[in-house]
Every structure is written in structure tokens, then in C-alpha cells.
Amino acid sequence: MFGSIIRNPPALISACIFDLDGVIVDTARYHYLAWGRLAKELNIPFNEQDNERLKGVSRMKSLDILLSLDDRQASSGEKERLATLKNQWFVEYIGKMDRSEIFPGVDRLLMELKSNGIRVALASSSKNAPQVGGILGIAGAFEVTIDGGMVKHAKPDPEIFLLAAERLHVPPEDCVVVEDAAAGVDAAHAAGMKCIGVGSAQLLSAAEMVVAATGDISLPSLSRL
């Protein structure tokens, strides 16, 4: 008689917390375009690799990183002016967006999660997240939304994910985060959550799993984490 095969039960996940820019919608490229435009104005060499360091972090931290690429110093008043300029360009770009810029498979994934009792939240470092949600009509798709204006400390600090879990009434260890930024993966881990990276396996190697696109995430893959 053969013994029965005993498998470990799949890990239970109660909630999935999504980053916005670069995970739900293609807005990461608008941040890149706007920072690139500012870098050009300032004559600071800036490429896609430099931009990886700006992903997920706050507007002012991003500006500090950009200035540091060429050892520049600026007064706080000048930094305010530069950050405002970058934001004006970003807002101009997203004003022309439509629903076609939501990544393929996002609607399907959100529906699959919800119909299996998994709660969904949005946690973005961007202060423009409510505006992006409004333009794309996706605000109602998430039970909880936390944006950059609601936290003191941006990613890689865990505050934003811990607040999302608290608002969902779900323990952090039962949440999985979906992120395209290394700072976001670090924030998820600091919150005691597992993380699925979206993008380059090399850049997001700290994540428990990396997929090329958000639409590649499936329910079975979540329970294998």
C-alpha cells in the first residue's frame, strides 16, 4: 500500500496591497519623463538606470536623489520650485491619459481576488494617486486607498503598507504587496509582508517572486509565495 502524499496547505493570504504607478497603470513613465525634463533643464545627466532610484520614493526625496547625481545643492525654496515644476509637467501628462493605460489583466486580477474573498487595497507614495484614480475611474476598485499625502514617511518606510493593513483590518503577515520599485519591496518586507515584484528580476531580486507584468499574477501563484 502506498502512503498518501502529504502536501503543505497553501499559505492563507487575506489581502493584496497594490502600488499604483508602474503596477496598475503606466504612470511610472510619466514620472520618468517629467524628471528627465527637469534634469535636462538643470543639465544633469539622467538615464533610466538613475530613474530606478526615484521609483516609489517621495517627490522631495526623488529630487534630492536627482540633484545628488551631479553633486548639486539647492536651497529649500529652490527645491520647492523645482518639485512644483516637475509636478506640473507630470499632471499635464496624466491629464491626457485614458483607461487604455491600465495594464492588461489588472481588471481580471482584481475580480479574481475579490471573488475569492481576498481584500484589495492601493498604497501609493504619490500625492497624485487620487487624481490618477479619478481620471481612470479605478478609485472604487479598491476597498482602501492610501496615498502619499496620508503618511509621514514614504517607502522604503513600512508606514504606508501598515496603514493599508490597519484600514483593511488584516494582520500585516496576511498581506501580499505588489510593487515595481525596489523601495517598495523593502517597505513591504519592513512591514512584515511578502512581495511580488513587477518588472526586472534583477532589480527586484529581494521580492519573493517577480513577474514581468501585473497581469501575470494569478491566484495559485499568490498561495505559492
Of the candidate spans 39-47, 53-61, 205-213, 215-223, the one that interacts with ligand BG6 by CB under 6 A turns out to be 53-61
Q: Does 21 bind ligand BG6 (CB under 6 A)?
A: yes
Of the candidate spans 18-26, 34-42, 71-79, 83-91, the one that interacts with Mg ion by CB under 5 A turns out to be 18-26
CB of 60 or CB of 219, closer to ligand BG6: 60
* 21 included as an active-site residue: yes
Convert the chain into a string of H (helix), E (strand) and C (coil).
CCCCCCCCCCCCCCEEEECCECCCECCHHHHHHHHHHHHHHHCCCCCHHHHHCCCCCCHHHHHHHHHHCCCCCCCHHHHHHHHHHHHHHHHHHHCCCCHHHECCCHHHHHHHHHHCCCEEEEECCCCCHHHHHHHHCCHHHCCEEECHHHCCCCCCCCHHHHHHHHHHCCCHHHEEEEECCHHHHHHHHHCCCEEEEECCCCCCCCCCEEECCHHHCCHHHHHCC
Please give the residues from 64 up to 83 whose contact with ligand BG6 meets the rule CB under 6 A.
none
CB of 124 or CB of 172, closer to Mg ion: 124
Q: Does 128 bind ligand BG6 (CB under 6 A)?
A: yes
* 98 included as an active-site residue: no
Please give the residues from 163 up to 222 whose contact with ligand BG6 meets the rule CB under 6 A.
181
- The residues binding ligand BG6 (CB under 6 A) are 21, 28, 31, 54-56, 58-59, 62, 87, 124-128, 148, 181
Q: Which residues bind Mg ion (CB under 5 A)?
A: 19, 21-22, 180-181
